[in-house]
Amino acid sequence: MRPGGRVPVDGLVTSGQSFIDQAAITGESMPVEKVPGARVYAGTVNQSGVLEIQTETVGRETAFGKIIEAVENAERSRAPVQRTADRLAGYLVYFALACALLTLIFTHNARSTISVVIVAGACGIAAGTPLAILGAIGRAARYGAIVKGGLYMETLSKVDTVVLDKTGTLTLGNPEIVSIDPVQGVERERLLLVAASAERYSEHPLARAILKTANDASLSLVDPEGFSYTPGKGISCRVEAEETVVGTRAFLLECGVEVSAPTTDDDSSTEISVAQGRIHLGSLRIADVLRPEAVEAVRALKDMSIRTVLLTGDAVSIGLAVGHQLEVDEVEAELLPQQKLDRVRTLRGAGKTVVMVGDGINDAPALMEANVGIAMGSGTEVARESANVLLLGNDLLKVVEVIKIARWCNRIIMFNFAGTLVVDAVGVGLAAFGFLNPVLAALIHVSSELIFILNSARLLSRSSKESRLATLGDKMTLPPAERAAV
Ligand code: ADP
Ligand code: MG
């Protein structure tokens, strides 16, 4: 990859060093330094150095390709407001023709009749609405949130409840083991080895923490057999031919293991219990850090009169601690995936318009059930497929921003609706009574429609505030490697 060229694929840098302008994908206004191991995106521009890139995805599969696909799909999956707009525009044409006919019958004045026909316009609605929606989708995409259809953009403007998952969504999903507590007679290394071997193929953030510690201690892991993952509970498998269970206390009890009482009542770390051959080997405590922007994001949602609900599969004490720290309106913990889905369904049943933000396999059903599901960029493939909005990166403020864009888009569309109706009604009235000549009528028609279209087009413009926010947002997310997968 030479300087000045456009990166053709998504991939990892294998050698070289350079700065890349990736504003087209992530909205960052400053070029980002890329060194081996960093991720580069198709459509971004290499500024200075030479890079060797290992291709990961090409064409439609790249982040850029997905944005294009999202915009194309958005054009196909039309928002209901667009159908209303088309119908309204149709009525306006009939309205103008009927008024013209009446004018002709009552005044016998051809000039007035022609003026009536000319003055009435519907483009502010017919063209202004799709333009506003596409503009909003484009704007959100530039900001790092891919909205998979106009319908979701419209629904987002009406959202009154945001449901948040904890692990990986509100927390960095980069947890670390803070203590290893084997029961008496078991070695720490043994406990860690069994846990890490069982977690070897797990995608869960907690599993990554265990594997990292095991790696650091250079333990040689064994391959688990008969691996089965119960989302929200844990893993059961065979390690060294022995039945092994790694997960919540409740899960171990369910599997017939007698678990000894917890050693601490610390509510800032998650406990994972390990058992082999139905014998409790001990527990690992894993702590995760809240995303730096999480407090601000929850506060911003509250300022927008949106109710926030935290639903987690983790223990009640941790759920409450996190909920308290973020000041969310409601916390529910120890939920299985099905229960998360049920909570979302109940909220919808109560007439709420619900956004669910999640990252895990355990969140996928709730993401589908919510009016709009939003997946974190680092989320599992299932979550990202189930969601209607995909964040590029993990910045929670993007959730706030995309709702703001949706509300703005809705205001613009409503303004255009009302404006067109007023201009048409007043214009037709004036024309019918002979106050307008055809030239003036044409002027009113064209200039009013121009105003409405320009009003919609405001969504397309790039404000200085937006690029500043985008840069700020990116600083707050993780280093480029974390902003991985799209
Ligand atoms: P959240 O809803 O906060 O994202 P999850 O539903 O993914 O949390 O997990 C809930 C709990 O289930 C975790 O706190 C952990 O105790 C247990 N658990 C889930 N996945 C695993 C795993 N791979 N290994 C061990 N325990 C797990
Ligand atoms: Mg999660």
CA of 274 to the centre of ligand 1 (A): 13
The finding on whether 270 has its CB within 6 A of some atom of ligand 1 is: yes
Residue 6 DSSP one-character state: B
SS (H, E, C) 158-214: CCCEEEEEHHHHHECCCCEEEEEEECCCCCHHHHHHHHHHHCCCCCCHHHHHHHHHH
CA of 333 to the centre of ligand 1 (A): 11
The finding on whether 359 has its CB within 6 A of some atom of ligand 1 is: no
In ligand 1, the atom with minimum distance to the C-alpha of 198 is 24
CA of 476 to the centre of ligand 1 (A): 25
Q: Which pLDDT tens digits describe the chain residue by residue (486 residues)?
A: 777 888 999 999 999 888 888 876 765 667 888 989 888 888 888 887 888 999 998 988 887 787 777 666 665 667 889 899 999 999 999 999 999 999 999 999 999 999 999 999 888 899 999 999 999 999 998 888 999 889 999 999 999 999 999 988 999 878 889 999 999 999 999 999 999 999 998 888 899 899 999 999 999 999 999 999 988 899 999 999 999 999 999 999 999 999 887 766 677 789 999 999 999 999 999 998 899 999 999 999 999 999 999 999 988 988 999 999 999 999 999 999 999 999 999 999 999 999 999 998 889 999 999 999 999 988 888 888 889 999 988 899 999 999 999 999 999 999 999 999 999 999 999 999 999 999 999 999 999 999 999 999 999 887 645 544 544 444 444 333 333 333
CB 30 within 8 A of CB 39: no
The finding on whether 161 has its CB within 6 A of some atom of ligand 1 is: no
CB 205 within 8 A of CB 175: yes
Task: Give, using CA atoms, the residue closest to atom 13 of ligand 1.
Answer: 314
Q: Which fold has domain 10-61?
A: 2.70.150
Pocket test for ligand 1, best of 191, 206, 252 (most atoms within 8 A of CB): 206
The finding on whether 312 has its CB within 6 A of some atom of ligand 1 is: yes
Task: Give, using CA atoms, the residue closest to atom 25 of ligand 1.
Answer: 247
Distance CA 132, CA 457 (A): 7
Pocket test for ligand 1, best of 362, 363, 382 (most atoms within 8 A of CB): 362
Distance CA 30, CA 21 (A): 7
CATH class of 179-288: alpha beta
What's the CATH number for 143-171+291-401? 3.40.50.1000
CA of 383 to the centre of ligand 2 (A): 10
CA of 174 to the centre of ligand 2 (A): 12
Task: Give, using CA atoms, the residue closest to atom 16 of ligand 1.
Answer: 248
Q: What are phi and psi of 43, to 5 degrees?
A: 90, -10
What is the location of CATH 3.40.1110.10 in the chain? 179-288
CA atoms within 13 A on the CB side of 307: 11
In ligand 1, the atom with minimum distance to the C-alpha of 166 is 3
Reported pTM: 0.79
DSSP reduced 3-state for 52: strand
Distance CA 390, CA 148 (A): 8
In ligand 1, the atom with minimum distance to the C-alpha of 169 is 4
In whole angstroms, how far apart are CA 95 and each of 286, 318, 373, 440? 67, 61, 40, 20
The finding on whether 364 has its CB within 6 A of some atom of ligand 1 is: no
Which among 267, 242, 243, 247 is positioned nearest to 259, based on CA atoms? 247
Distance CA 246, CA 234 (A): 6
Task: Give, using CA atoms, the residue closest to atom 20 of ligand 1.
Answer: 234
CB 215 within 8 A of CB 227: no
Residue 260 DSSP one-character state: P
Distance CA 388, CA 395 (A): 17
Q: What is the pLDDT of residues 367-390, one digit of tens each?
A: 999 999 999 988 888 888 889 999
The finding on whether 362 has its CB within 6 A of some atom of ligand 1 is: yes
What is the location of CATH 2.70.150.10 in the chain? 10-61
CB 235 within 8 A of CB 229: yes
Distance CA 224, CA 238 (A): 6
CA of 205 to the centre of ligand 1 (A): 9
pLDDT of residue 153: 94
What is the location of CATH 3.40.50.1000 in the chain? 143-171+291-401
The finding on whether 246 has its CB within 6 A of some atom of ligand 1 is: yes
